[in-house]
Structure 1
Amino acid sequence: MHFLQILILAIVQGAAELLPVSSSAHVIVAEKLMGLDPTTPEMTMLLVMLHTGTMFAAIVYFWKAWVATYFSSLSAFRTNALRIVAATAATGVVGLALLFIIKRVVFRNASGFEIEHLFGNTTLMAVSLIAAGVLIILAARIRERSDDLTLRSSIWIGAVQGLCLPFRGFSRSGATISTGLAMGVSRRRAEEFSFALAVVLTPPVIAKEAWRLYQAAHVQAVDSGHAVNTMHLIGPSLVGMVFSFLAGLLALRWLSKWLEQGRWHFFGIYCLVAACVVLAVG
């Protein structure tokens, strides 16, 4: 993989991962345009490191706000920890239920089914982008209230996050922030809580992708008859992580600015346009 390709994917992943426009849809389109195979160990390794870069970008960007909100006192920590745990549990319940339904109904309980089989379906991706775009536009029309985050709204946000997991194109940040806005949560609190959930969710995603890398390398080793060395992939992947980190920081500044200035709906319009592009490229 060339340095320019790594740079492009890092910027696309880093920006789109944290903006409410679906990073997966953008990365898949970029890979198709550059003729890359996302199933290779090289691409899997790069994706793991790009996710790591965006996770650290969210931690650095929101750290002061999270300290002020979540760690201001023992009581505040307990209350907010309960909300995060409840939301994450709702994500797991909804996500696993969707996975079960998709496997049993759509794929007729096929033994080799993995959720990644859905990711290459450009029609499904476009529909998901449209759904995210409509949700963002509708949420932007709701007048902001000063209501704080409650346990009930936390669970709803987590449940909607679970809906995003199987569908590439259904932006996680766009859906969770919009759900918070729709339930009367202030823009700042909705944004902070959405990315707190993302930081909790990202390590299992990274672990899953790392496991896929190990499995792919093992299969390749069995087929070729000798061990596959993936150490040469670390250097390019670290470069990608740095660029995704920097792109993520810039993306978060952009997101916060538009959210506070009442321009949230523009991200929804972009998702609708992106759906058309995905269909054309697919």
Structure 2
Amino acid sequence: MNDYISAIIIGIIEGLTEFLPVSSTAHIRLTQDLLQLPLDDSYWKMFAIVIQLGAILSVLVYFRTRIVEFVQSYPTGRSGLRTWWNHPIALVILSFVVTAIPCFIMDKFIGDMLENKMAIGWALLLGGLVMWYVDRTYSPRATTEKMEDMTLRQAIVIGLTQILAAAFPGTSRSMSTIAGGQIMGLSRSAALEFSFFLSIPVMVAATSFKLLQFILKEETAVSTHQWAVLAVGFVVSFLVAWVVIAWFMTWVRRHGFTPFAIYRIIIGIFTIAWAYRELT
């Protein structure tokens, strides 16, 4: 298949799934397999990660007003009750640090798990069951309605849950953040918004690291064609993700996360069956 068409398809999948709690990594991995792309090719591995920056850019655009508000209110917050260490900006950075250090250490393990379709299937399935249980059990008990009211403890625990998502592709970074937030008392909207903001430093760091790693390790320079294909995927993921964010924020407030949990379970079963068939 033409590389540009592949880039468009993968860009659409990335934009649709990056912020939904269904694992964009798993969906891109399965899509690349369906498109018969060389999964052991370092370029396509890098492509799948770097186009996530397009989706992250959509977060900056969509939440630009909130971002400016947080920056201007640092460190005391709008209420005047926050400090430099528990302002929303500080909590996002803290949660990122908690996630980033272990993930950097486990980079090789994480890369190997991306090749394991069976593990991805089980992560999708079990993650769906966890999401369904957490949303049903903890959503009515929420005590923190806004990001501005979050605590250090909540930010640390959410950061720790993201390590699980990074180690086992298919778990979903957003699912882990949202479920961890709900368990710690965040409302659906607060958990979702924190997930969006936390995705900015996490994904910028991850994608930049992978791009740099690819450039330094490759013996041949990235061709003009490869840069162009990457740019197409980047732009498509940005545009699709921008639309998805607006829809998702409205959907969750009204319906919750159960439909996504059911979807995960179905796709997980399908992926496990697919992987089993390949092994037999």
> Is TM (by shorter chain) over 0.5?
yes
Question: Does 2:51 align with 1:50?
Answer: yes
Identity of aligned residues (%): 25
Cα deviation for residue 69 of structure 1 reads 4.5
Which residue does the alignment assign to 2:274? 281
| Cα separation, 2, equivalents of 1:40 and 1:230 | 15
Match of 1:127 in 2: 122
Q: List per-residue Cα deviations over 1:135-194 (Å, max 9, x = no partner).
A: 211221121534231111111001101111111101110110121122211222222211
Aligned to 2:188: 187
Task: Pick one of 235, 251, 254 that aligns with 1:261.
Answer: 254
> Quick check: 1:153 aligned with 2:154?
yes
Gaps of 5+ in 2: 78-82, 276-280
CA contact (8 A) 2:26 2:169 kept: yes
| Closer/same/farther in 2, CA of residues 156 and 63 from structure 1, 3 Å limit | same
CA contact (8 A) 1:49 1:238 kept: no
Distance 1:43-1:267 versus aligned 2 partners, 3 A rule: same
The change in CA–CA distance for 1:155 and 1:231 in structure 2 (over 3 A counts) is same
> Offset at 1:96?
5.6
TM-score (structure 2 length as normaliser): 0.84
Cα distance in 1 for partners of 2:194, 2:230 equals 29
Whether 1:236 aligns to 2:229 is: yes
Please give the alpha-carbon distance, in whole angstroms, between the structure 1 residues aligned to 2:252 and 2:238: 21
Distance in 1 between the 2:130 and 2:75 partners? 35
Q: d(CA) in 2 for partners of 1:89 and 1:212?
A: 20
Q: TM-score, normalised by structure 1?
A: 0.84
- The answer for unaligned runs of 5 or more in structure 1 is 101-112, 222-227
Once residues 181 and 110 of structure 2 are traced to their aligned partners in structure 1, the CA distance between those partners, rounded to angstroms, is 27
Q: Which ranges of 4 or more aligned residues in structure 1 deviate by more than 4 Å?
A: none
| 8 Å Cα contact 1:44/1:210 also seen in 2 | no
User: Where do residues 47-196 of structure 1 align in structure 2 (5 Å cutoff)?
Assistant: 47-69=48-70, 71-76=72-77, 78=84, 79-95=87-103, 99=106, 114-141=109-136, 142=138, 143=140, 145-147=142-144, 148-196=149-197
What is the Cα-based RMSD across aligned positions, in Å?
Answer: 2.3
